[in-house]
């Protein structure tokens, strides 16, 4: 009798424990939603000259050094195919205020053009079909060296605002359209006027590190800026670096400069060598 009572008490004590064990979730079941990777169209925040809708992650910095050699490649060995220079150079620094907003400063030695800018990624989507991004950017520029234009006070201002619409086709071909409003495209004019330019760019990703790229900026012809700016080249991506080697008919790099056009035609005897180097820096550990 005592054994029966002991067995009954033990069973009563174990019953809640066994029931609880049966209610536990199976260990291999996912307990939370999987984190999806962010949508990416272009890998870099810029093409050769045009911007993309891509932004940095919050707290990251981007440092840029870019050159455009003035002699054309057609000058041959006497000018080391243009590499003897002189050159126009650009230095840039950008910081990500958030995952969607960047602020930056650019400085080109062409007319000592100094620019302050801001860029925002507005939206993205199409993950399962055609990934796309839409961004906006604007900037103010000061040209502090206009010694050959005595009618100016040495600090001529420019401004621009643009949208960047990007899409990824077939998983490898990134394309972009960049309509832009530009204030004061030609500094030689006594009074500032307005202009509209449209940039188009594409990039074919051959691998995770190598891609071919090209861009074209359609602009209104003006004296000294009679031609559209075209650029094509190759991009190498590795370890936080982007290295872009380009051929182009423009040596003008800052947005208020290259968006207004170029004095050089897009033909073999006018093409110039150039490169962009950008380095991503993160101090957040």
pLDDT at 20: 45
Q: What's the rounded mean pLDDT across residues 244-248?
A: 97
Q: Is residue 148 classed exposed, middle or buried when 0-12, 13-18 and 19+ CB atoms within 10 A define those classes?
A: exposed
pLDDT at 31: 52
Q: What's the rounded mean pLDDT across residues 136-163?
A: 82
pLDDT in tens, 165-197: 999 999 999 999 999 999 999 888 878 889 999
> CA torsion angle for 21, 23, 24, 27 (degrees, to 10)?
110
Report DSSP letters for 32-67, one per residue: SPPPPPPP-SSSSSB-SSSB-S--PPTTEEEEEEEE
Domains of the chain plus CATH, in order, are 60-282 (2.40.160.40)
**pLDDT range class, residue 251, cuts 50, 70, 90:** very high
3-class SS of residue 170 = coil
**pLDDT range class, residue 155, cuts 50, 70, 90:** low
pLDDT at 5: 47
pLDDT at 145: 82
- Strands 173-183, 132-143: pairing is unpaired
Per-residue HEC secondary structure of 178-238 comes to EEEEEECCCCCCCCCCEEEEEEEEEEEECCCCEEEEEEEEECCCECCECECEEEEEEEEEE
For the chain, the average pLDDT equals 87
pLDDT in tens, 193-212: 899 999 999 999 999 999 99
Query: What pTM was computed for the model?
Result: 0.83
pLDDT at 151: 60
Choose among 228, 225, 216, 148: nearest CA to 184: 225
């Amino acid at each position: 009798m005592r054994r029966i009572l002991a067995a009954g008490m033990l069973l009563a004590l174990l019953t809640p424990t066994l029931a609880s064990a049966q209610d536990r979730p199976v260990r291999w079941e996912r307990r939370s939603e999987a984190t999806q990777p962010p949508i990416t169209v272009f890998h870099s925040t810029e093409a050769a000259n045009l911007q993309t809708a891509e932004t940095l992650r919050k707290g990251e910095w981007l440092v840029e050094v870019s050159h455009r050699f003035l002699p054309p490649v057609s000058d041959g060995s006497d000018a080391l195919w243009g590499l003897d220079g002189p050159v126009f150079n650009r230095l840039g620094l950008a910081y990500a205020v958030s995952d969607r907003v960047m602020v930056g400063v650019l400085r080109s030695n062409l007319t000592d053009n100094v620019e302050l800018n801001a860029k925002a990624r507005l939206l993205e989507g199409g993950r399962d079909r055609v990934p796309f991004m839409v961004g906006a950017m604007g900037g103010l520029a000061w040209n502090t060296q206009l010694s050959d234009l005595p009618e100016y006070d040495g600090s001529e201002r420019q401004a621009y605002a643009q949208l960047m619409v990007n899409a990824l086709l077939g998983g490898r071909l990134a394309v972009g359209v960049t309509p832009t409003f530009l204030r004061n495209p030609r500094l030689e004019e006594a009074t500032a006027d307005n202009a509209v330019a449209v940039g188009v760019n594409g990039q074919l990703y051959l691998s995770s590190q190598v891609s071919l790229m090209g861009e074209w900026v359609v602009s209104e012809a003006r004296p000294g800026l009679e031609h559209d700016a075209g650029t094509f080249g190759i991009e190498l991506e590795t370890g936080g670096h982007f290295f872009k080697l380009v051929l182009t008919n423009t040596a003008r790099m800052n947005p208020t400069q290259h968006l207004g056009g170029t004095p050089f035609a897009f033909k073999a005897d006018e093409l110039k060598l150039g490169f962009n180097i950008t380095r991503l820096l993160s101090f957040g550990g």
